[in-house]
Amino acid sequence: MLFGKLGCVLLRRTCPYRGIVTIYRCHSQKSSKKLRICEALSQKETGEYVRIQGWIRSVRSQKELLFLHVNDGSSLDSLQVVASSELDNRYLTFGCAVDISGNIVKSPHKKQNVELQANQIQVVGECNPVDFPFKVKERHGLEYVRQFPHLRCRTNTFASLLRIRSEATSAIQAFFKENHFVQIHTPVISSNDCEGAGELFQVESAGRDRSTDGESSGFFSVPAYLTVSGQLHLEVMAG
């Protein structure tokens, strides 16, 4: 344990990672307001004590200060977090999940309005940069990124695609709502085929007994399938 400036305690970890690790904590504990990154970046008033959660996009250590860029997916831009360079930053790696509390202050840099001066940093999810499929400052092709569907939303490319798709869907729904259309959700499981639209996937209950000839009795006592189209149900509604 090392004592740094401003009465803050820097906690160094020596045992293997097994859970949440607090590596930087100030003596004075305050109640913090939880913000998303997009909300923190849009803050106009400085000095507020806030709490953010997200993944580290980059780590940069200088002589006296440590700079982290943290993103939670709510914005393409990351929030810069400033802490003492004396803290044990071996667990602060690209891709790790962190929970940070501190004060929103005016940033001296022109490219950003505010930054977060950290009073507490917790690593809630460690990330080994060697095993992590995405690397810092490397451009990855779409085919490569698609191999990791649970992580690709963290990349700027797929995050942008999701936002565009969301806005397009919202605009289409708004148009139909303004013109007094009614949205109808057709059944997901159906016994109807839609004019031979494609190969249907048959649905069977795992606990349902088969008949004496070995055939399943069906989900609704008739063969049931995952629908490929809501056409037949919508025709009934429109008629």
228: pLDDT strictly greater than 70: yes
135 found inside a domain: no
137 found inside a domain: no
64 found inside a domain: yes
pLDDT confidence of 138, banded at 50, 70, 90?
confident
| Same domain, residue pair 103 and 168 | no
Per the structure, the count of domains in the chain is: 3
133 found inside a domain: no
| Same domain, residue pair 118 and 155 | no
Q: Residue 21, CB half-sphere, CA atoms under 13 Å: how many?
A: 22
**Strand 114-125 to 189-190 pairing:** unpaired
Q: What is the pLDDT of residues 161-207, one digit of tens each?
A: 999 999 999 999 999 999 999 988 888 888 776 666 567 788 877 76
Q: What is the pLDDT of residues 53-85, one digit of tens each?
A: 999 999 998 888 999 999 999 999 999 999 988
Average per-residue pLDDT in the chain?
82
99: pLDDT strictly greater than 90: yes
* CATH code where residue 7 lies: 2.40.50.140
Instruction: State both tokens at 237.
Output: 């509604």
3: pLDDT strictly greater than 60: no
Across the beta sheet with 224-226, the strand order is: 189-190, 224-226, 201-203
32 found inside a domain: yes
Express as a percent the part of the chain with pLDDT over 90. 46
Q: Do residues 45 and 57 make contact, with C-beta atoms less than 8 angstroms apart?
A: no
Burial of 138 (0-12, 13-18, 19+ CB in 10 A): exposed
Range of the domain at 6: 2-125
Q: Which residue has the tokens 């690397």?
A: 135
d(CA 83, CA 207): 57
